[in-house]
Each structure stands twice: as structure tokens, then as C-alpha cells.
Amino acid sequence: MTTIEVSLGGRSYPVLVGSGVRTELAGVLPPRATRAAIVTQANIELAIDPGREHRRFEIADGEANKTLTAVEALCRAWASWGLTRADVVVAVGGGLVTDVAGFAAAAYHRGVPVVHIPTTLLGMVDAAIGGKTGVNLPEGKNLVGAFWQPLAVLCDTDALATLPARQLRSGQGELAKYHFLAPTDLLALDLVDRIAAAVQIKADVVAADEREDPTSRRGRAILNYGHTLGHALEVETGHDLLHGEAVGIGLAYAAALSRRLGRIDDARVAEHHRVLAAYELDTRLPAGVDHDQLVSLMGRDKKAIGGLTFVLDGPAGVEVVPGVAEPDARAALEEIT
């Protein structure tokens, strides 16, 4: 088992990575919590024991259910059960579960403690760590949410044994992102060590910039590398693309755009394609997507400051680049069409 600390002063918490770490759950819950609300989905059967009275609350599968309606339904169910601020929420599932349950926990009674047990690769390396919670609007991804740090995150790698191949590939889209934030080649590590390395990178970035300072070029926003187009593709395809699949294409797009802006050379673009190929991720836009709509969606991205804003590779590494000209953004879309 590897333990990584997310250092946030009095709100610091551990991320445990390894086989069987879900058995540590009872030990990380608040001693005063007499009830645990287990938020999960019908198809998730990972056995957990919070060591106190608990009840299972299910949310529907699919990105279409990552909504304010789902948050309201959870909060009303908790109220009917009698969950209090002294109790705890335990989110068991992928990024959708930890995002929705985390946001509901942040809002219910103005804040109930939450512990995340991600069951997908994507959740382990990204969604469950860092305190970002939220839901979608028809206008875009994660536009409503809150920062609500968990008490702990338990990344039990046993859960990956039964993960469908496509869900595993989606997580690999997020892992691919970390290759361009890491000091060494993550492909040289086994999967568990790769997960731990990604968690360490995210923990360090979050500790330095918890709330994603919009004026910082190398703060938390660098964790959105590949996400500007990725999020737009998710919306434009009606979420037919999984998050990590869309991020993979977004990484290829970011490399093409960076080269067009003179920030990286052909060799660095080739390195992006090497990593994406290793994870069997697509690097081309799906057929039939509307470029006008993609540009519009990218313009509404949360990072957008004074026009189109991207996280791009460059001489100083990955950083936020505001004010990208629309013709360049469109030309890079054409390159990956």
C-alpha cells in the first residue's frame, strides 16, 4: 500500500493506493459519525464495511444523470433517512459518483464529510482527488459545483480487475495527461505504481493551488491538459465518447495547436502520439462533429479568460495560454479531422 498526502493544512488528507485498501474505510471515518450514506450505482458490487449503521443510495448510470436533479434526489433521500452534519457520505464508484456525491455532500446541511472509494481508473487518478465536485448543464460540463475536500480517498486497485475494457481505456486517457506533467516516463512503471505517480502529481498541484487561481499559468489548471476540446467533444457527441476517450483526442489536438503556435516541435508532437498509441487512444475527431459548435463550446470552458483559452505544452512545460486566435484553433481542428 502506498499513502500519498494531499497537504492542505488542517484539511489535509491521505490517498491510499493498493490492493484491498477499502478495508481501511472504518479507520478514516470520523469517530462521531454514527451513520454512513453509501452512494454508488446498481452495477457496483465492491464490498465495503464502514463499521457503523449505513444505507445504500444509488444514482443512475450515464453522464446524462450528472445533474442538479440527481443532487436534489440524494439530498432528499438523506433528509428522509435522517442524515446529519455529524455523519458521513461514502462515494463508491467512478468519476460520476464522486462528482455527484461530493457536490451533494458539500451542499447538504452546508457540508457533510465525504470519503471517496473510486472504482475506476479515471476516478483513481483524477476525479476522486482534489476536492472538485460538480454536475453538468446542457450548456457544458461541470458548470455547477463546489470545492469540497474529502476526508480520505481509498484507491483499491482490486476494483480494476472487473472494470470493462472501455472504462479502463477511459482512465488511460487521464493517465496519458500525466505523462506530460511527470518528470519521468510513466510507461516504464507498472499500473499500480503509475497510478500512485499520477496521484502524487495531482496532490502536489492541488496543494499548491487548491482553488485553481485564474491568474496562474502553471497552477491547478494544468490538470486540464487535453480537457478543453475533450469536454467540448463530450457535449457535442451527446456523451457517446467517454471522458478519457475525449481527453485523449484533446491531447492530440493540444499538441497540434501548440505546434501551430510555435510552442513545440514535431518531435514533441510525436511523443504525444507515442503515449496515446500506447494506451490505444484515438487521435482523430469523430466523423461528423460540428467544428463551429466545438469552437463555441471551447469558448465557454471554465478556464476561458479573454477569449479562447487552452492548456498547452511549450518550452516551460504545460501551462495556461489565454487569447488563442480562433483561426488557429480551427486550423488545429482541421489537422486532427
Residues 6+ apart with CB under 8 A from 28: 14, 115, 151, 152, 154
pLDDT exceeds 80 at position 69: yes
> H helices within 44-164, ranges in order?
68-81, 95-107, 121-122
| Catalytic residue, candidates 116, 231, 272, 302 | 231
- State how far the Cα of 103 lies from the Cα of 157, in Å rounded to an integer: 24
For residue 10, give the DSSP letter: G
- How far, in Å, CA of 97 to CA of 118, rounded? 8
Let me know if 227 is a catalytic residue: yes
Q: pTM of this prediction?
A: 0.91
89-112: pLDDT as tens digits = 999 999 999 999 999 999 999 999
Angle of helix 243-260 versus helix 266-278 axis, rounded to 10: 170
Return the pLDDT at 300. Answer: 84
CATH class of the structural domain 213-335 = mainly alpha
Say whether pLDDT at 328 is over 80.
yes
Catalytic residue from among 35, 116, 179, 243: 243
Q: How far is Cα 84 from Cα 86, in angstroms, rounded to an integer?
A: 5
Write out the E strands in 22-139.
35-40, 53-58, 88-93, 114-118, 132-137
220 is catalytic: yes
pLDDT at 213: 81
The active-site residue, picked from 22, 35, 116, 132, is 132
Q: Which of the following is catalytic: 179, 202, 263, 302?
A: 202
Pick the closest to residue 192 from 240, 158, 239 (CA basis): 158
How do residues 124-136 score in pLDDT, each as one tens digit?
999 999 999 999 9
Q: What is the pLDDT of residue 331?
A: 98
Residue in 148, 60, 137, 57 with CA at minimum distance from that of residue 99: 148
Q: What percent of the chain has pLDDT over 70?
A: 99
Q: Which three cell numbers stand for residue 91?
A: 462515494
Indicate whether 250 pLDDT > 70.
Answer: yes
191-239 residue pLDDT tens: 999 999 999 999 999 999 999 887 787 889 999 999 999 999 999 999 8
Q: Is 300 a catalytic residue?
A: no
Helix (H, G, I), strand (E, B) or coil at 150: coil
Q: pLDDT digits over 24-36, tens only? A: 999 999 999 999 9
Select which of 24, 35, 141, 174 is catalytic. Answer: 174
DSSP three-state, residue 72: helix
In the set 169, 220, 259, 302, the catalytic residue is 220
Question: Average model confidence (pLDDT) for the chain?
Answer: 95
Q: 187 falls in which pLDDT band (50, 70, 90)?
A: very high
Residue 135: partners with Cβ closer than 8 Å, 6 or more residues away = 66, 67, 68, 70, 71, 99, 100, 103, 142, 144, 145
Q: How far apart are the first and last CA of the chain?
A: 43
279-315 pLDDT per residue, tens: 999 999 999 999 999 999 999 876 666 689 999 999 9
Give the relative orientation of helices 191-208 and 165-179 as an angle to the nearest 10 degrees.
50
Please pick, among 35, 141, 169, 227, the residue that the annotation labels catalytic.
227
132 is catalytic: yes
pLDDT at 184 > cutoff 70: yes
pLDDT at res. 319: 95
Q: Which fold has domain 2-162?
A: Rossmann fold (3.40.50)
Confidence of residue 82 (pLDDT cuts 50, 70, 90): very high
How many residues does this entry show for the chain? 337
CA atoms in the 13 A half-sphere facing the CB of 104 = 32
* Catalytic residue status for 271: no
Q: Which residue has the cell 499500473?
A: 191
Sequence letter at residue 218: R
Task: Give Cβ neighbours of residue 152 (< 8 Å, ≥ 6 apart).
Answer: 13, 14, 15, 16, 28, 115, 116
Alpha-helical segments (H) within the chain: 25-28, 68-81, 95-107, 121-122, 165-179, 191-208, 227-236, 243-260, 266-278, 291-299, 326-335
Is residue 43 part of the annotated active site? The answer reads no
Choice among 224, 236, 263, 272 that is catalytic: 224
Query: With contact defined as beta carbons under 8 Å apart, do 3 and 15 qualify?
Result: yes
Tell me, yes or no, if 202 is annotated catalytic. yes
Domain ranges of the chain: 2-162, 213-335
pLDDT value for 304: 67
pLDDT of 51:
96
Q: CB-based contacts of 2: which residues, under 8 Å, 6+ apart?
A: 16, 17, 18, 192, 196
Same fold, 2-162 and 213-335: no
Q: Is 65 a catalytic residue?
A: no
In this predicted structure, the answer to whether residue 260 has a pLDDT above a threshold of 70 is yes
Q: How far is CA 294 from the centre of its chain?
A: 21
Burial of 69 (0-12, 13-18, 19+ CB in 10 A): exposed
